[in-house]
Amino acid sequence: MILLAIALILLLSWAAITLRRLVAAVVVAYNAISAWLKDQLAGHRIYRTASIANFTYTAYRPSLDQRLVLRAIPNQRLADAFGIHNSFTTFDRKVHMNFLKRSFEAVRKAGHQDWLQLFGHACRVVKGYSDVLGKSGHDILLASIVRKVCLGV
């Protein structure tokens, strides 16, 4: 948005507005608006994903122990097949709390640009796999990508 304001100020301050300057100002404004929209989309998607992970997307408010059970039971096959033991495959509160602590520290250390780069990279990966999965132009379930990329199933 700052770039948009600068572009408009420059545009209005030029005595002789040439077509070249007008096009340059429009390009700067377009890029600023595009960056702002991408930022808004990323924030909304992160919030939506967090609401699914912490079960706040429904009216049902399970306790921590209930949430751990709800997550661990369907993910138990990951623990059995691949030896994955983490917050998503265990009922253990200590494992979960340690995972949260490490996660919050990692998120706090990451800057705004880091999240935007991660979002951009994730979009490129999904776009790359959309043709492989036969769903070009449609939403792709994250579980499908994880199975294909990480587990080969």
pLDDT in tens, 8-27: 565 566 545 566 766 776 77
- Tens of pLDDT, residues 27-73: 777 777 777 777 777 777 777 777 776 677 676 778 889 888 888 89
Nearest C-alpha neighbor of 72 from the set 60, 82, 55, 86: 86
d(CA 22, CA 33): 17
Q: Is the pTM of this model over 0.75?
A: no
- Least confident span in 62-76, 87-101, 122-136: 122-136
Q: Does residue 139 register a pLDDT over 50?
A: yes
Closest of 30, 23, 44 to residue 1, by C-alpha: 30
